[in-house]
A and B are shown apart, each in its own frame.
Chain A
Amino acid sequence: MSALHIKKGASSHSAYNLRPTFSDAEERHTLAVIVDNEPGVLARVIGLFSGRGYNIDSLTVAEVDHKGHQSRITIVTTGTPQIIEQIKAQLGRIVVVHDVHDLTVEGPSVERELALLRVSGGGEKRVEALRLADIFRANVVDSTLDSFIFEITGTPEKIDAFADLMRPLGLSEVARTGVAALRRGN
């Protein structure tokens, strides 16, 4: 049987495949949702996830088209293939949503997250933290005599790995942006 061909636009925002998927294993998907930047739009998206019991692993939002007043919401979510399809279809139903892209299935994509980490301590640990930061290409964006704030960009896994290494070296605070993602190529 052929795949469903849904035209772009309105409630049929993405070419999601409506064919049944029979796996019950949970998958992690990164969704890019293009929305009108109007009051309450984020509440609509978040309300959908909480109201229907879907997971949000991370969510970022910012206006990306100032002229057209459009924002891009990047959501990382987990669920069975059936739930993922539901999430996309439900997002597509929201009137102010223009497009839903599942970057996980639409070909290779780039995912990046930015984090700020405060590492406090002195002596050997301080030197070791700096050395590891160098390996991870993290920048020092603030420094006192007994602390650093590192800025690191990368995949969530890279940031997790860096944070794990910093923990015994005096990691005291972390701020993460959540994932921003784009499809590779043209």
Chain B
Amino acid sequence: MSGKDVGSPHSHTTSRSSISRRTLLASGAAVGATTALGGCLGSEDNRLTVGFALPFTGTYALLGESIVAGFELFIEQQGGEINGREVEFVRRDTEAETSRGVDVTRELLLEARADAIVGPVSSAVAMAMIQPIQTESSAIWFNANAGDYRVTAEGCPEYHFRTSFNDWQTSAPLAEFVYEEVADNVCLAYADYAFGQNSKEFFKEAFEDLGGEVVEEVGAPLGTDDFSPYLGDIQGSGADAVYSFFAGDDAVNYVNAFSDFGLNEEMVQTGSGFMLANDTLPAQGESALGMYSLLHYTTTHDTERNREFVENYVEMYDETPNVYACQGYDSAQAFAGAVEETGGTDPDEMAESLVEMEFDSPRGEFEFDPETHEAIQNLYVREVVEADDGESVENEVVETLEDVEGPDWGCSHR
């Protein structure tokens, strides 16, 4: 394959450092032979290209938009450039669909010649992206939301850096809090697909290790609209607490039904933070009051760094940031850090430098695990409380679990 030596990052670096591409192009423009060269050199001017492989339509569109907004905010704060190089954004809609995910990833790598891929949202898409990104080896990959641990466990892709979370992080560490503060027996209720199953398994393992008892497991198909039959099983289990994984519309429907049926008066609801996040809380409202959840970012978390982030975000978009925006923002931070540190965009060099860095994020400081490239970060146990305005509800951090390190998924990169 000609092109900019996609297969060989080394020649790529040398050519980049030598001559300014713009001069080269200008000087050669008159000569016919340069057409091929132009093709070769692609984004040859000095710009950095960031490719967003995210859903912008369908159920997950909000997540995609938020990640982009967070990313662009950080770049905007740097005056639109990193290391003196202008940053260009190319967004492609994965439609949260596996085949499209592969297509747009290749398009971003080959056509847009992205230096970094940011995305995706769904894990099935992430799994399908591993191969194209590894094959081209031309870009660093910031996984800004897809949390299935298997994205790491499947061969520990070397350009993959999870600027978000994995399903172990948002489930297992909550077990201790539940066991000590809430109840020693739980019913598990989860969306019956890979992510939901993983989350409940991780929680179960941790909870049982502590001596807790899981009295019942209730799986509801992904995309369930009416939860009342499942609520019967949950109620019938007689457990004192429930641990759940639901996200998006499932979370809205589940939490609303849970309180519509008055279960919140009998048992304590706990779960992964996505069940009670900024994108679901407005539609859940008072139904969510008193529920506990675990996440790595909370908009209302009261630190100086976060207040500043929220202020800037609100100023730019007239909206409060959610966890996805923070993940996008941190992806930008990581990319900027890597470019500045290595002085270029060689993905191997960037990957090496990223594991050395520590990031000052609105979520708290975090760094990448050198083996797994997962974020080692704080996790926050939150409770849903009434907001100061008296009308809406919000999360309040009740406990911070610091620098949580997870399993290593059998990875050893170096």
Chain B associates with chain A:
no
- B residues engaging A (CB < 8 A)? none
